[in-house]
Structure 1
Amino acid sequence: MNPDPSICRVGNDFYLVTSTFEFYPGLPVYHSKDLVHWKMIGYALDRPGNCPMEGAGSSGGNYAPALRYHDGTFYISCTNYGGKGTQGVFYVTATNPAGPWSDPVWIGNWYVDPSMMFANDSMYWISPDHKGGFSVGTFDPVQKKFIKPLQQVAKGQGGSSPEGPHMYKIGEYYYLMSAEGGTGYEHREVIQRSKSPYGPFEPSPYNPVISNMNHPESPFQAIGHADLLQLQDGSWWLVCLGIRPKGGRFQHLGRETYLAPVKWTDDGWPIGGDNGVMLEEFPAPNLPEHKWEKEPVRDDFNSTTLGLQWNFLRNPYEADWSLTEKPGYLRLNGSKVSLKEKDSPAFIGRRQPDFNMVASTKLSFTPEADNEEAGLVVRGNDANHFSLVVTQREGKRVVLYRKYLQDKVESEEFKEISKDDVILKISATELEYKFWVQPKGKEAILLGTAATKELSNEKIHGFIGVFIGMYASGNGSANTNPADFDWFDYEANPKRIFTVSEK
């Protein structure tokens, strides 16, 4: 889940930011030297003061950032929908893209997908305008106010939901590039240009710049919401979002970031990919390869701070979690808040970036009542998730597998276990999740399965992708005992196979 990518280059370094919606911290910042290998270096919104998320609904929160660099300062514009205290459109600044980032400068409007362009000694704001078009104004970042108010300068190019605009001054033209067709299978990127940022704009005769809407056979769909970039050698590239549906039109990993080359026509129009189509492979950019150190499979929680891969739901409650109360463990103090509420449960999760993977953890937890539980969760949104938790049934300690779909319990399976620590595992393929329990000294036991499509965007709607993480809750009242997670493993494309035992 890395949608709505926006990119900038500073010397030989590339930086990219993507949307996070109701997850916290917000707006991850990635760094690359070669456009191919990327490393997360921080978050633009990493504290409640600059990331108000309380009360944000699922697929609410922080929408479609734009990243720009000017005169020693990085700028990220964004829109925060639904968080308590939000005022809509804002931007934050930093001199180091890894942070710290400033508190928000609230623009006070409620349009989505704002962007910026620095040109002519001015800061231009570009945004959709709720009227099927795009507006531009000039903004003074010193006085923090508009010098020239937003005014409509162009319309969309005929597709639904014109959005995601970016403007670039290239040569004698101002290019206004935008997405349309919705963020689903009709998604596409289009462009128009003018000799003034205030128009009039003429559309490209080669539109769309890039789209796979007419290529249903492609494994990549919903291509759009792009941002242009020029490399040191003068070549041009774009990043955009796309999806990888499986088993039909079902995608559960969320919208991801794609890279494609851009060629310019003799009459000055950009065309992305292979004549406007996103292929599975392109020749790499003409840059020295720069790989980052691989993320370890295991997080053993021996640090006093969480790794950058971890996220909360909305603004977390400090009392819900700790890395110091029991050193070497992640402790979750399950509160009354559950996963199905528009609140922040004791949940710490990470994106699922691979179809084939195994996530596992070693848990120490003693429930005292049927409502108390702790374990692993595959989360689609508030109303759709799969849980593999230690809980109590008829006075006995059990591991329970629950399907919670369309805001109700669809099924439950459970197995009695001893009071020892237990290993919980979730394995996945393109089409199926499997849920395992491994009691101390025994083989892993398969407790249940679920189709990945049940958490697909097409089934549950919204804009996010699956997260997998650790969770604890008393479902209406606080847990009696804490849940201590000794470690968490995430292994992509695993080679090991679990031995299946009877339930």
Structure 2
Amino acid sequence: MNTFRNPILPGFYPDPSICRVGEDYYLVTSSFEYFPGVPIFHSKDLVNWRQLGHVLDRPSQLDLDGTPTSKGIYAATIRHHRGTFYMITTFVVSATGARRNFYVTAKDPAGPWSDPVWLPDAPGIDPSLFFDDDGKAYVMANRQPPAGQQYPKHMEIWLQELDVENGKLVGDKFSLWDGALKQIHAQEGPHLYKINGMYYLIIAEGGTGFTHSVTIARSETITGPYENCKMNPILTHRHLGRSYPVVNVGHADIVDTPNGEWWMVCLASRPYGGDYRNLGRETFLVPFEWEKGWPVVNPGKGIVELEMRRPELPEKRWASVPACDHFDSAELGMQWNFIRTPRGEFWSLSERPGHLRLKLKPERITDSVNPSFVGRRQQHMDFAARTVMEFTPSSKGETAGLVLLQNPDYQYRMEYGWSEEGSKLSLIQRKAGEEAVLASLPMTASKLYLKVEAIGQAYSFYYATEAEQWLPLVESADGTLLSSDVAGGFIGAYMGMYASSQGEHSSHAADFDWFEYVPL
């Protein structure tokens, strides 16, 4: 049987949204405090995806200064209407601050995308766009019911017309879905569709953790009333137990193919080494069929599987991202991100051609700042990542190296730094904000090779002063602290290159010749 493997986007790619334009499919995911924001992908067969870039790739579009971890850009929706692409999302300013909804537009999904059109009277999170047959546009998102919440996280889904010409909401807000009807919490992630003359509303319920689910309702008119599907939830894994290999399935968007197939993209996670999800929430693909006007997901099974039948579409593979980035290009590869909006000229690919130069900034990666860090997602349970660095620490606080992190308070730092006793290479474990030096040894080398290998939740760190002459620094360190189950939040583990002068001024830099990431 012709099959594919889930997830279609491994690693931290949550809250997928999809649209089709002819025979082309476009998909976006949330990005939280990482910059650039909202990665965008393109596919011809729904299985093989290539990244086109990021929707929010300019500071004028995305100011993440001071944004706490797991805040920033929440779930995004992508839609296409009359030659224009639209991406709408929420910027969560802080843990208790405003939720600010906005959208951007582009003629080419690869960009450039416009600066944000803010919708100040659009409450809640996870906004979506819908364009009706009569040309009218609508925005929907969640909010607390105007009459008040009847239980914790009780939300409703609202709808309001959007004046696209002037970029503002007009008319009344309508309540489409009130969680009081079913006593399920955290109603969010709405998407609206018109299929065979009926309006279908898909939402996420139950929170984005173990009890996550996909539910659906329908109506003959866009403002309702909406009929609840008696088969709800149409997709969840909460009944399968925490040891099932795919958990917290939910937050779906749907698309049809030119030959009449229907598919759903959703988020889910793959726990390993116990109830730990270092890879974060990933993007999965699952088929569904219509029966008596309602969708039946993966008929006969009703769940998302790691191996599934392929769509009946011609296979189209793209050139894969090289395992080793030699930093020979004029721009950083699309797999790389900064933490928050990059401020200052702290990185360069041109000052020393063929190298990524990271200048030492006073900012630390343990604070909610923009540190001198360039990183990428962990995408596999078993992997090896290595780099070579040229750096000579020479004064107090100067350090550079390889970092694996979940957030500012949960991370491993393999640092080459300066101390009063001289330069040394250390592995520092940071857990719940408390640091422990797991290993430290005197080191005098202008060039250092650094490597981490993970087999499940055992992360081993190695170093070398000559190519391929690896020596252990620490083996089998506990990787579970890189999971959101230990660290909290909504993101997956990252790794990358880091340099800091730790509160002091420094004119020095660390040069990285290459960075390699390979699954094992």
Amino acid at match of 1:264: W
* 8 A Cα contact 1:364 1:485, kept in partner: yes
| C-alpha separation in 2, matches of 1:370 and 1:318 | 22
Q: Which residue of 2 is the match for residue 63 of structure 1?
A: 74
1:484 has 2:511 as partner: yes
Alignment of structure 1 residues 342-421 onto 2, 5 Å? 342-421=368-447
Identify the residue that residue 117 of structure 1 maps to in structure 2. 130
Partner of 1:18: 29
Aligned AA (1:50): Q
Partner Cα distance (2:506, 2:388) in 1: 19
Bigger mean CA offset, 235-244 vs 273-282: 273-282
Tell me the distance in 2 between the aligned counterparts of 1:445 and 1:416: 14
Q: Helix, strand or coil: the match of 1:48?
A: coil
Inter-partner Cα distance in structure 1 for 2:98 and 2:50: 29
Aligned match of 2:62? 51
> Is 1:432 matched up with 2:446?
no
Q: Which residue of 1 aligns with 2:9?
A: none
Counterparts in 2 of 1:48-447, with a 5 A limit? 48-82=59-93, 88-108=100-120, 109-119=122-132, 120-131=134-145, 132-156=155-179, 157-216=182-241, 217-265=243-291, 267-274=292-299, 275-440=301-466, 443-447=469-473
Aligned residue identity for 1:145? K
**Equivalents in 1 of 2:130, 2:321: separation in Å?**
35
What is the CA distance between 1:193 and its match in structure 2? Answer: 0.7
Shift of 1:165: 0.6
1:478: how far off? 3.1
Does structure 2 retain, via aligned residues, the 8 Å contact 1:417–1:439?
A: no
Unmatched tracts of structure 2, length 5 or more? 1-11, 146-154
CA contact (8 A) 1:56 1:342 kept: yes
Contact 2:123 2:142 in 1 (8 A): no
Q: Which residue of 1 aligns with 2:7?
A: none
Distance 2:99 2:403 in 1: 32
Show CA shifts across 1:192-227 (max 9, x none): 111111110111111111111111242000000000
| Superposition CA RMSD, Å | 1.6
Name the CA shift for 1:480/1:10 in 2 (closer, same or farther; >3 Å).
Answer: same
> Shift in Å at residue 297 of structure 1?
1.4
Give the TM-score of the pair, scaled to structure 1.
Answer: 0.95
1:455-484 CA deviation, whole Å, 9 max, x = no partner? 111111100000110000111113352111
Contact 1:2 1:20 in 2 (8 A): yes
1:143 Cα deviation after fit:
1.5
Structure 2 length normalisation: TM-score?
A: 0.92
8 Å contact from structure 1 (residues 369, 395) kept in 2: no
- Partner amino acid for 2:478? A
Going from structure 1 to structure 2, the CA distance change for 1:353 and 1:442 (only over 3 Å counts) comes to closer
1:461 counterpart residue number:
488
The answer on whether the counterparts of 1:367 and 1:479 sit within 8 Å (CA) in structure 2 is no
Deviation at 1:59, TM superposition (A): 0.4
Alignment partner of 2:345: what SS? Answer: helix
Structure 1 position 351, deviation (Å): 0.7
CA distance in structure 2 between the partners assigned to 1:415 and 1:31 by the alignment: 47
For residues 158 and 414 of structure 2, the distance between their equivalents in structure 1, rounded to whole angstroms, comes to: 48
Aligned to 1:501: none
Other structure's SS at 1:454 match = helix
Moved more, 321-330 or 461-470: 321-330
> Does the Cα contact within 8 Å between 2:459 and 2:478 map onto a contact in 1?
yes
Q: Is the 8 A contact 1:166 1:178 kept in 2?
A: yes
Amino acid at match of 1:486: D
Secondary structure of 2:238's partner? coil
Contact 1:87/1:106 (<8 A) preserved: no
Instruction: In structure 1, list runs of 5 or more residues that go unmatched.
Output: 494-503
AA partner of residue 483 (structure 1)? A
SS of 1:271's equivalent?
strand
Q: Percent identity?
A: 39
**1:499 alignment partner in structure 2:** none
